[in-house]
Amino acid sequence: MMKHLFRAAAVLIGLLSLTPTLYAQTATTNTTLSSAVADESTTSLVVASATGIDAGGMLYIDREAFDVVSVNSTTIRVKRGAEGTRASAHPTSSYVWAAKKSEKASVFKPPPLYFGTCVRASEAFLPQIDVRTGDVWDCPVGTTVWIPLNQVLTARSVQFDLDNGAGTTIDAEVITHPRPIAITACRIVYDDATAGTVAAGNAKVGITVGGAEVVAATSYENAKTVGSTTAMVIVAGKIAAGTAVLARHTGVAATQAGKAYVECDYVVR
């Protein structure tokens, strides 16, 4: 009996040795800058959290890589422009990706790895960053292909008839994304020329019905041609996962003319 048990155990060990390596998949460390990096020569950064950052590791901020020299609380001394990237200024609250010295090879990888399929359980860290292009890649749950997170994407509302009645409002979904996103720009796009006075109407963008959390009310413009735009100013662009982003249209009297939609650019965080 014991001889059979030992033989079965040996077979099991042999089979396990043929199984591909699976990792305890870990979320790549990220934080934000607590103060701006004013120029290309600053070598001291202050981050919101230094957890997961150590000497010999690497930081990545908006297409610039930083070699970590030392860590003192949340102040990080760095070497600029690592991995052939260009040093540049970075504003407060910029997104910071980080990898410890022992993690760099798993977090910062060359581009050929991201063209094709992926197996989430086979990656030690996700997302991963292609330092040479600045792209951030993930292998999301339920998919088998690499997905870029920080490439600029665009979403738009339905078309609004601007002269649907003075003060008449319409709320329309612009986007609901399963991951956190950052809205980087919004604009009104006219796909029918405006005539008369449409400036009494406006559009805004928020995360509540009629809200303006993302973009404050922006007046429509008179005498706009087809394809022209009105820029909208972002108030707060960071959107939590699964949160609906809504455009609120407020119309003008039916004696006017014009049609438009709201369009927003965003990146997945």
Q: Read off the pLDDT of residues 6-16 as tens digits, 9 standing for 90 and up.
A: 343 343 333 33
Cα–Cα nearest to 141, from 154, 151, 127, 155: 127
Per-residue pLDDT tens digits for 68-87: 999 999 999 999 999 999 99
Contact 259, 192 (CB under 8 A): yes
Q: Clarify whether residues 47 and 103 are in a common domain.
A: yes
Here the CATH number for the domain that contains residue 260 is: 2.60.120
Give the model's confidence band at 223: pLDDT under 50 very low, under 70 low, under 90 confident, else very high.
very high
First to last CA, the chain: 57
> Are 181 and 114 in a shared domain?
no
202 and 121 in one domain? no
Question: What is the per-residue pLDDT for 239?
Answer: 92
**Domain shared by 178 and 195, yes or no:** yes
The string of DSSP codes covering the chain is -HHHHHHHHHHHHHHHHTSPP----EEPEEEEBSS-B-SSS--EEEBS--TT--TT-EEEETTEEEEEEEEETTEEEEEEEETTPPP--B-TT-EEEEE-TTTHHHHB--GGGGSSB--GGG-SEESEEETTTTEEEE--TT-SB-EESSS-EEEE---EETTS-TT-EEEEEEEE-SS-EEEEEEEEEEEEEEES--TT-EEEEESSTT--SSEEEEE--TTPPTT-EEEE-BS--EE-TTPEEEEEEE---TTSEEEEEEEEEEEE-
> Would 16 be classed as within a structural domain?
no
In this predicted structure, what is the pLDDT of residue 215? Answer: 95
pLDDT at 99 over 50: yes
Residue 261: give the domain boundaries.
153-268
More confident position, 98 or 138: 98
Is 15 part of a structural domain of the chain?
no
204/100 same-domain check = no
- The pLDDT of residue 115: 65
- Winning range, highest mean pLDDT, from 1-5, 7-11, 12-16, 196-200: 196-200
Specify whether 120 is located in the same domain as 189. no
Asked whether residue 162 falls in the same domain as residue 209, the answer is: yes
Task: Tell me: cis bond preceding 127? Omega within 30 of 0 counts.
Answer: yes
8 found inside a domain: no
Q: Do 111 and 204 belong together in one domain? A: no
Number of domains in the chain: 2
Q: pLDDT tier at 3 (50, 70, 90 boundaries)?
A: very low
Average pLDDT of the segment spanning 160-168: 94
Here the tokens at position 228 are: 């022209």
- Nearest by Cα to 235 from 212, 252, 254: 212
Task: Determine the pLDDT at residue 102.
Answer: 95
Of the residues 96, 115, 148, which one is the last residue of a structural domain?
148
pLDDT at 51: 96
Q: Who wins on pLDDT, 269 or 177?
A: 177
Whether 46 and 112 share a structural domain? yes
The closest alpha carbon to 80, from 91, 69, 65, belongs to: 65
The pLDDT of residue 38 is 92
Q: Are residues 163 and 66 located together in one domain of the fold?
A: no
Q: Mean of the per-residue pLDDT values for the chain?
A: 87
Work out the average pLDDT over 119-135.
88
